[in-house]
Amino acid sequence: MTKIRAKISGIQGWVPPYILTNKELETMVETTDEWIMTRTGIRERHILKGEGLGTSDMAVEAVKGLLAKTGTTADEVELLICATVTPDMVFPATANIICDKVGIKNAVGYDLNAACSGFLFALVTASKFVETGTFKKVIVVGADKMSSITDYTSRETCVLFGDASGAVLLEPTTEEVGVMDSLLQSDGAGRVHLHMKAGGSVKPSSHDTVDAKEHFVYQEGQPVFKFAVTKMADVAAEIMERNNLTSEDISYLVPHQANMRIIEATARRMGVGKEQVMINIERYGNTTSGTIPLCLWEWENKLKKGDNIILAAFGGGFTWGSVWLKWAY
Ligand code: UT7
């Protein structure tokens, strides 16, 4: 029987217009452009401004653009998975809100939370529905309004994050392209280093939790850094090894954009040169579920059918993983 694979047949990204520069951050917290650039590689990030606007509004921009450029009607979409840690509300799922705002009426929608690995986990989950023939037109959207959970008085975290969305259309193919292999891992013990303290069922929102600033990202930078460097490189190297891929076979590495030093370490471990790595952290910062689709979107015109691409991510949970993708157009 011919194997059905899930191919990416279109990609669209979106960032809000407001740009928060390192220079502006220098006026908000005790930091410098020099510190942020050397420690993270980030120069600026986009922030969603506007009363009543949330993650779904950014996702809607990406999804509408995706439908238009792939010539897909809203009615044709059968499944939409939204990867996010900043849902519009605790419930319902942001995916449902996106579908409603776009006019997607015939689709199943749900959210998936794997923090910075969210897009990768959602892509793999969605690809299984396509490979098994369950759905033929599937949208995976990664979107995060990180500014909504960032403490702009904390220099440790506020320099890192930005807002963005990115969406891909997945369709079945019998060609040797699309999602070729994937490797996903998680370890809940890592939660102590990276989490949000309040707003969940363990510690519901209260005046005290607001006063204690417990509705923002809590991150212990160094332990997270150590795990990220090791784990992201491990999975990227493993997926290459088990598929007999060498650095010469790889057109691009697409790493989650959390820190330039983590990106460089992963590339070194894989033996790929900087020109083979998609890097746009300087302009967008860490957009959590948005980083990988934003890269693919920006590099779309350079990609050719059959290009071998390795996606790699690491994030809260901890979660981490890698995908071997053959570009389909
Ligand atoms: O995407 C999900 C996963 N997340 C990640 O992968 C993030 C991983 N972690 C990191 O990328 C890095 O740990 C950070 C960028 C968060 C921090 O960089 P670092 O090199 O690990 O710095 P550090 O936390 O060890 O701090 C070094 C110094 C400290 O001062 P002292 O104690 O040496 O006096 C900090 O207080 O830098 C200070 N510092 C800052 N200084 C100026 C921390 N943030 C800033 C800042 N500006 N924004």
pLDDT in tens, 193-231: 999 999 999 999 999 999 999 999 999 999 999 999 999
What are the φ and ψ backbone dihedral angles of 254, each rounded to 5 degrees? -115, 95
Domain(s) labelled CATH 3.40.47.10 in the chain stretch across 5-176, 180-326
Helix (H, G, I), strand (E, B) or coil at 196: strand
Question: 223: part of which helix (H) or strand (E)?
Answer: helix 221-242
Active-site option among 116, 193, 259, 295 = 116
Task: Tell me what pLDDT residue 2 has.
Answer: 87
Question: 311: part of which helix (H) or strand (E)?
Answer: strand 308-315
Q: Which residues contact 73 (CB under 8 A, 6 or more apart)?
A: 67
d(CA 9, CA 321): 22
Residues with CB under 6 Å of ligand 1 are 31, 35-36, 39-40, 116, 155-156, 159, 221-222, 224-225, 228, 258-259, 262, 286, 314-315
Our measurement of the distance from residue 300's CA atom to the centroid of its chain's CA atoms, rounded to an integer in Å, reads 16
Crossing angle of helices 118-131 and 291-299, in 10° steps, is 70
Residue 278 tokens read as: 């998609």
Nearest to 30 by CA among 133, 158, 122: 158
d(CA 258, CA 217): 14
Q: Record the pTM.
A: 0.97
Q: What is the pLDDT of residues 75-123, one digit of tens each?
A: 999 999 999 999 999 999 999 999 999 999 999 999 999 999 999 999 9
Pocket test for ligand 1, best of 225, 230, 264 (most atoms within 8 A of CB): 225
Task: Tell me what pLDDT residue 307 has.
Answer: 98
Q: What is the pLDDT of residues 24-56, one digit of tens each?
A: 999 999 999 999 999 999 999 999 999 999 999
Q: Looking at the domain 5-176, which fold is it? A: Peroxisomal Thiolase; Chain A, domain 1 (3.40.47)
Q: Looking at the domain 180-326, which fold is it? A: Peroxisomal Thiolase; Chain A, domain 1 (3.40.47)
Strand partners, 144: 164
d(CA 269, CA 310): 13
Spatial strand order of the sheet with 178-186 comes to 178-186, 319-326, 308-315, 252-255
Q: 161 C-alpha vs ligand 1 centroid, how far in Å?
A: 13
